[in-house]
Amino acid sequence: MRAYIYDNEPTDQRLPHETSPSQPISVEALNKLGVLYWNIPVEGDWEQEINKVAEERSYKNRDTINVSKEGLGDAYESKIRSFFEEHLHEDEEIRYIIEGSGFFDVRDVELDQWIRIAITPGDLLVLPAGIYHRFTLDEANNIKALRLFKDEPKWVPHPRSAETEVNPYRQQYLQSRGIPVA
């Protein structure tokens, strides 16, 4: 995993979009946003390690998603567009990368800028409920990820809007970061 400030250039979303000079972001800085990270190598018994994290964090369900042209078929283009639209969830978003690579962008709530998180096999990323984020593949156009859920598997995005600003999960997220809410 590598995190850095996103350059906001209007080019292909699958490019690295790293500022020049680079502005790296530490795991500690991600933690302050509520983003959690582990590296669990895919070589060896990664499933046992994932099970430990799942038990500690009360994740009860899981599935695997293959985000690629082959894996999504005719829905590929529309799914890629929807994943990259800024949104939040009312549940944590948990992904363990098994194959391939891509990017999660999270909105730094204090500076109102994107932080790009480059993910590769072995990365386990947890985004808190209520954080604005988006996802895209990189130029390899393929990622296989294990998705973990506290309850029944669901993926309901809430695109950023005036309505999501007052969403209770967004409000709770802001309060957890020490940001006053109206």
Burial class (CB in 10 A: 0-12, 13-18, 19+), 164: middle
Q: What sections of 9-154 are H helices per DSSP?
A: 27-32, 46-56, 69-72, 76-84
Specify which residues 118 forms β-bridges with.
2, 103
Among all chains, which residue has been given the structure tokens 């972001």? Answer: 25
Residue numbering of the annotated binding site for Fe(2+): 87, 89, 93, 133
**CA count, 13 A, side-chain hemisphere, 147:** 16
Residue numbering of the annotated binding site for Ni(2+): 87, 89, 93, 133
DSSP letter at 6 equals B
Interatomic CA distance for residues 125 and 97, integer angstroms: 9
Residue numbering of the annotated binding site: 87, 89, 93, 133
Interatomic CA distance for residues 35 and 130, integer angstroms: 11
Asked if residue 71 lies in contact with residue 115, where contact means CB atoms within 8 angstroms, the answer is: no
Cβ neighbours around 59 below 10 Å, total = 19
